[in-house]
Chains A and B, each alone.
Chain A
Amino acid sequence: MSKQQWPLYEVFIRSKAGLSHKHVGSVHAADAQMALDNARDVYTRRMEGVSLWVVEANAITASEPEDKAAWFEPAENKVYRHPTFYEIPDEVKGL
């Protein structure tokens, strides 16, 4: 028997209209349509979702955990991006 493994697809579910799709796991499938069918059977047996995405796992580009500090540092040292950075007198309303 051939040992060619079906590709891995990552599965994302929108649990209800108005919410984003969220990663839930993965399935193997010969092609994208089969991945959708398998994902439905494996991950939505109890009405977990109203919409499914499947993405071939090797199509995903991810950031490296080792770079986490440097990569996210620019966001960390710009506290003035948050509303709480600014001091407004208590008597001023509506801000």
Chain B
Amino acid sequence: MYTQGLDQQGDGPTLVENEQDLLEKFQAKVDAEEKIEPKDWMPAAYRKTLIRQIAQHAHSEIIGMQPEGNWITRAPSLRRKQILLAKVQDEAGHGLYLYSAAETLGVSRDELVDQLIDGTAKYSSIFNYPTTSWADIGAIGWLVDGAAIMNQIPLCRCSYGPYARAMVRVCKEESFHQRQGYEIMIALSRGSDEQKAMMQDAFNRWWWPSLMMFGPSDNDSKHSAQSMAWKIKRFSNDELRQKFVDATVPQAEYLGLTVPDPDLKFNEETGHYEFGEIDWQEFYDVIQGNGPCNRQRLAARKSAHENGAWVREAAAAYAEKQRQRKEAA
């Protein structure tokens, strides 16, 4: 899944003269498309921005397992169940690649996990919506993972080496996610009237939240410029959102779906779709913790973490015992 860049830190540090010199060398390196690696000097704000962004991204993957996990036991066939299990396992894997990348910046896994559970860290708004029908699983794979791909492909070229490398792995796996989702939709589109209605209903509920995944509009995204200069970000939120709409509308038409936007129309001159205004109030409400499922998602994560404590402790005790036995022998 993906990052929304919700609260990027863009303020530069106060610099002493020596740092000014380091900063210029750093920027020159970034400008020359050289990668920054963990032990290289980097501005404190660059480090902080990356930790937040990668952590948010990792948390999104982990929380993102919940809406889809909801349907594993109720998948309509063994084939679908196997696929969904593999997909949810991939999301866990993506979370772990990303935590691993964040840790190279000097933050510990425990800190990251704590920040998620105590609610100080954010994650993508999209996972605070419920999955009320099987068609939602199709819609998520197709739309949510589709939007994630748009966001993540440019991140494969991010200036920070470990993040870029993690994204290459993620992107390779994400394409399966999107295609399995679209295949679910195709099956429904060829089904009964009830199945078609279920598909349209899922599409109606996921369309706008998917567009919100790209983050605030460019006018309100004040830290974007710094992230662009650091080559953490390559395209603006609105540019990526437009790409997504252009790619997705024809896919919806193929399925016989109606896009829930009366203002949507194709502009022959620009070659792009024009679309209606996003409900930004809803976006900010969900970000601030008041979406349909925010409390449920965090409570589930917290309880999984707490109920797993004895396993972590037992494993640590076992490892310690083995170590002592080895030493005694």
Write the residues of chain A forming the contact surface with B, with a CB cutoff of 8 angstroms: 1-6, 8, 24-28, 30-31, 34, 41-43, 45-46, 62, 64-66
CA distance A34 to B318 in the complex (A): 11
B166 cross-chain contacts in A, Cβ below 8 A: 25
B309 cross-chain contacts in A, Cβ below 8 A: 1
> B303 an interface residue at 8 Å Cβ cutoff?
no
> B79 an interface residue at 8 Å Cβ cutoff?
no
Q: A1-B309, A5-B108, A6-B312 are in contact. Are A27 and B319 (CB under 8 A)?
A: no
> B246 an interface residue at 8 Å Cβ cutoff?
no
CB distance from B1 to the nearest CB of A (A): 16
Closest A residue to B98 by CB, please name it: A25
B96 cross-chain contacts in A, Cβ below 8 A: 27, 42
**Residue contact A5 to B319, C-beta cutoff 8 Å:** no
> B21 an interface residue at 8 Å Cβ cutoff?
no
A5 cross-chain contacts in B, Cβ below 8 A: 108-110
Q: A2-B313, A5-B109, A26-B103 are in contact. Are A42 and B97 (CB under 8 A)?
A: yes
CA distance A12 to B323 in the complex (A): 23
**Residue contact B109 to A28, C-beta cutoff 8 Å:** yes
CA distance A34 to B313 in the complex (A): 14
**Residue contact B93 to A45, C-beta cutoff 8 Å:** yes
CA distance A34 to B108 in the complex (A): 19
Q: A27-B96, A30-B319 are in contact. Are A46 and B110 (CB under 8 A)?
A: no
Q: A5-B110, A62-B39 are in contact. Are A25 and B316 (CB under 8 A)?
A: no
B322 cross-chain contacts in A, Cβ below 8 A: 31
CA distance A2 to B89 in the complex (A): 27
**Residue contact B100 to A30, C-beta cutoff 8 Å:** no
A64 cross-chain contacts in B, Cβ below 8 A: 39
Q: A27-B100, A30-B316, A45-B90 are in contact. Are A3 and B40 (CB under 8 A)?
A: no
**Residue contact B313 to A1, C-beta cutoff 8 Å:** yes
Number of B positions contacting A (CB below 8 A): 32
**Residue contact A42 to B103, C-beta cutoff 8 Å:** no
**Residue contact A25 to B100, C-beta cutoff 8 Å:** yes
A2 cross-chain contacts in B, Cβ below 8 A: 313, 316
Further 12 A-B residue pairs, CB within 8 A, beyond A42-B96, A66-B41: A2-B316, A4-B316, A6-B312, A24-B169, A25-B162, A27-B96, A30-B319, A31-B319, A34-B319, A42-B97, A64-B39, A65-B39
CA distance A1 to B162 in the complex (A): 31
CA distance A2 to B86 in the complex (A): 32
CB distance from A5 to the nearest CB of B (A): 5
CB distance from A26 to the nearest CB of B (A): 5
Write the residues of chain B forming the contact surface with A, with a CB cutoff of 8 angstroms: 37, 39-41, 86, 89-90, 93, 96-97, 100-101, 103, 108-110, 162, 165-166, 169, 172-173, 306, 309, 312-313, 315-316, 318-319, 322-323
- Of A30, A31, A43, A46, chain B has the most CB atoms within 10 Å of the CB of A30
CA distance A8 to B109 in the complex (A): 10
A65 cross-chain contacts in B, Cβ below 8 A: 37, 39-41
A41 cross-chain contacts in B, Cβ below 8 A: 89, 93
**Residue contact B315 to A45, C-beta cutoff 8 Å:** no
CA distance A93 to B248 in the complex (A): 60
B41 cross-chain contacts in A, Cβ below 8 A: 65-66
A-B contact pairs, 13 of them (CB 8 A): A5-B109, A8-B103, A25-B101, A25-B165, A26-B103, A27-B96, A30-B312, A30-B318, A31-B315, A34-B315, A41-B89, A42-B96, A65-B37
CB distance from A66 to the nearest CB of B (A): 8
CB distance from B88 to the nearest CB of A (A): 12
Q: A26-B100, A27-B100, A30-B318 are in contact. Are A45 and B89 (CB under 8 A)?
A: yes
A4 cross-chain contacts in B, Cβ below 8 A: 316
Closest A residue to B317 by CB, please name it: A30
CB distance from B302 to the nearest CB of A (A): 12
Closest B residue to A64 by CB, please name it: B39
CA distance A65 to B37 in the complex (A): 9
The 8 closest A-B pairs by CB, nearest first: A31-B319, A30-B315, A30-B319, A26-B100, A25-B100, A1-B309, A65-B39, A65-B40
